[in-house]
Structure 1
Amino acid sequence: MIYPSVQSAVVSALAAECIDNTSKQAWQKLIDLDTVRVGSGVSASDRMQADCWVFARLHSQLIPRHWNALVAKYSTHKGRKVQAISALVPVVASHAPRLFIGNAVTAWAIPPMKGAAGKRSVDMIVLPEQFYDLNRWDPEARPERTRRRWRQGINEVLESLVTEAMVAAENILDREGVLSGNCA
């Protein structure tokens, strides 16, 4: 057992690729990763290996739309997140125009950040506040009620994709025995 839930496994695996292995400061070298224990008593280096393995396993075994939904929702890797958003746009069924769908998927995957504009992490994708204005998403200026209905429908499609992906990921990780309650 390494992960208490499928969500923690997915989030941890998607975050693993953003952890740097660059040279460290002198005080950081004092920490021996093999002796540091995380969560369930697994060393940090073993956990990193497990996260990378889970990442590879899920990437190879999930269908593309499920993989892209998880990456768009949970990844912190800018490039992968943008790729996943681009791959999800044609998958989303909606009566909305493509521009609207693209913006809605992007806004779902990159929600507005709280806090002052200059006080955010530079490692996160931060969109300008005006991006989230629905009026900019539809050049034909359809009624607000229509735009809100479209956005709600698109969000429901995306959330259902994430739910399906989590179920599929749980089945994969259950077979591998890395979730709580699955150790022999």
Structure 2
Amino acid sequence: MTYRNVVSAVVRALAAETINSAGGCDFEPKVQCAKQKGEIVGKEAAFLQDCWVFGRLHKGLEPAQWRALVAKFSTHTDRKHAAIAELTRAIQSPAPERFRHCAVVTWALPKLPGVEGKRSTNVLPAAWYEMSNWDEDGRPEPTLRRWRASIRKTLEGQVDEALCAAQEILDREGLLMGDVA
């Protein structure tokens, strides 16, 4: 199996750890069951590869790169929140800590379209997306917008850097469609 692009590979790999009920990329029982039937094919093979890619990216990427990808793309709530907390501590900005935290959280959990954004379990209450709630000192809105834009630009830069590094890993392994022809 090959992936269409690096983003789809990262998303599938990060989602693999939440597929089974026990959590984590626990592919051993599925592999053992599939071996009894013969060759590992279909969903089991794709799941096994997604778990392998998860481990390969986790080991091959720098910790800061991994955190950026987990915060942006993971569906594992606890890991996503831990990555958000680490990014909040690492981000450089003149904004106060509460503002930085809210900016990182709303970047990682963007407001979704639909009725009150209720298309996902990872949706924040509407008040979280109000920048005026992020600052206790009543600073002017242009300042708040500038801080938020700077924080988001930094975070997107980290994700872009992490995706480039992930693409190098996946290219070496021949897992992207561009490599198949």
The TM-score by the shorter chain falls in which range?
A: 0.7 to 0.9
Is 1:2 aligned with 2:5? Answer: no
Alpha-carbon distance in 1 for matches of 2:47, 2:129? 35
Is 1:70 aligned with 2:72? Answer: no
Q: Secondary structure at the match of 1:55?
A: helix
Cα distance, 1:119–1:5 mapped onto 2, change above 3 Å: closer
Identity of aligned residues (%): 51
Report the AA paired with residue 52 of structure 2.
Answer: W
- 2:117–2:123: 8 Å Cα contact kept in structure 1? no
Count of residues in Structure 1 that have an aligned counterpart in Structure 2: 164
Q: Secondary structure at the match of 2:179?
A: coil
Which residue does the alignment assign to 1:162?
Answer: 159
Give the helix-richer structure, 1 or 2.
2
Report the AA paired with residue 13 of structure 1.
Answer: A
Q: TM-score, normalised on structure 2? A: 0.84
Alpha-carbon distance in 1 for matches of 2:126, 2:87? 23
Report the AA paired with residue 92 of structure 1.
Answer: I
Report the AA paired with residue 9 of structure 2.
Answer: A
Listed as ranges, the matches of 1:116-155 within 5 Å are 116-117=115-116, 120-121=119-120, 124-155=121-152
Q: Secondary structure at the match of 1:57?
A: helix
How far apart are 1:118 and its partner, in Å?
9.2
Which residue does the alignment assign to 1:38?
Answer: none
Report the AA paired with residue 63 of structure 1.
Answer: E
Listed as ranges, the matches of 1:1-184 within 5 Å are 2-20=2-20, 43-117=42-116, 120-121=119-120, 124-183=121-180
Q: Secondary structure at the match of 1:181?
A: helix
Q: TM-score, normalised on structure 1? A: 0.83
Alpha-carbon distance in 2 for matches of 1:173, 1:52? 14
Q: Secondary structure at the match of 2:47?
A: helix
Cα distance, 1:21–1:96 mapped onto 2, change above 3 Å: closer
Cα distance, 1:118–1:59 mapped onto 2, change above 3 Å: closer
Alpha-carbon distance in 2 for matches of 1:180, 1:117? 37
Deviations 1:141-160 (A, max 9, x none): 11000000000000000000
Q: Secondary structure at the match of 1:142?
A: coil
Report the AA paired with residue 74 of structure 1.
Answer: F
